Structure 1
């Protein structure tokens, strides 16, 4: 896939019917909770791009495809039959019609997703899908490279951060609540290793866009962060 083909899938602000809110950051900073809440308050759709990388990783693990087999992984990404459904307990992720929401949250899938996402071929394939899902705008998109690569012209860009300790604690509580047993120290070490890989990868590294507003969520409650993002949307979009 060429850069021209990839860019051809993206509509600029003047071509979209509505704005795009990009929310980026590493794991454990509250991206999903914040993005979902902001989308609900704005009446926008919500797209979780991280679930797409997890879905590719899940399918690769299921097929026993090695994480360094870029051509095979890219083939999975190009044919990814993923769908998002809103339910009474939040958004559900369906892969070829199968609900894999819980399965995508396992530590094994998280680790594999970081390795899978390092391949440019995989990222290029999923960027096209992400832009297609965003359609005409009026959408909140969360991920790790939304404001820098997927939608560099997004009207609102936010980059969330938090201390490594707080991020690991949040992730630990989340997994335990879902019945997934994991040692806190192992989880923290895995997250730090993933962050390092994501920051150092040559294609779409994890970083804040130059024009993104950085919000540290370490000592902030969810509603406080949501309100901060909504105020930014009010300033930039005049919609709240």
Structure 2
């Protein structure tokens, strides 16, 4: 649901439910359900846009795809396991806010600033709190545009291994700067920059990525060949990993990765 068209603001809610009762024989319970509720609001000021989002997401899955052999079956049959032994539930509470400029004059300094927070946990009591601050400033001078992207990503994670094995903690901060300059002509665009990242997860590491892009228009934009290189240091969080694969172990160890292309 969202409101009708307005020049001053916009708001709405989004509800989603998707589930299955399973029904696959001889592999254990395979039922699952995905549920989410999200609300958003956006306001248009004189030369700014301000927006905010709040969400709750719950995902319930079953661990049913284990290999079947006599040894594993003997363990399962001999284990006095609770009803939720092969069940996993993920709860995500989050909110985000953003402000950006809407200048009609391209020669004025423009910027975008945003914040996103997530409190994420599962049924086996692993939990994570993530705070992400991101911003971008840009200024156009004639055919050239100068810009700078800024990132601050702080993550606090506690993995619960089990009642008898205890837990472990991984806390880290990812800081990034991405300066760039671009120029545009009638048929071409050239952009040069760099990605500079400090990753403090466990030990601190420094990462540098060249960034470049070139395109040229042919035959009145019918054909636009382009080439470029890019890269960044990317956060792999408990939330991002289990949203991609919810059947992971209940307490995966985390390590960030470099994306290069």
Q: Shared fold (TM-score greater than 0.5)?
A: no
Q: Which has the higher helix share?
A: 1
Q: Which has the higher strand share?
A: 2
Of structures 1 and 2, the one scoring higher in RCO (CA 8 A, sep 6+) is 1
Q: Which has the larger radius of gyration?
A: 2
TM-score by length of 1: 0.19
TM-score by length of 2: 0.18
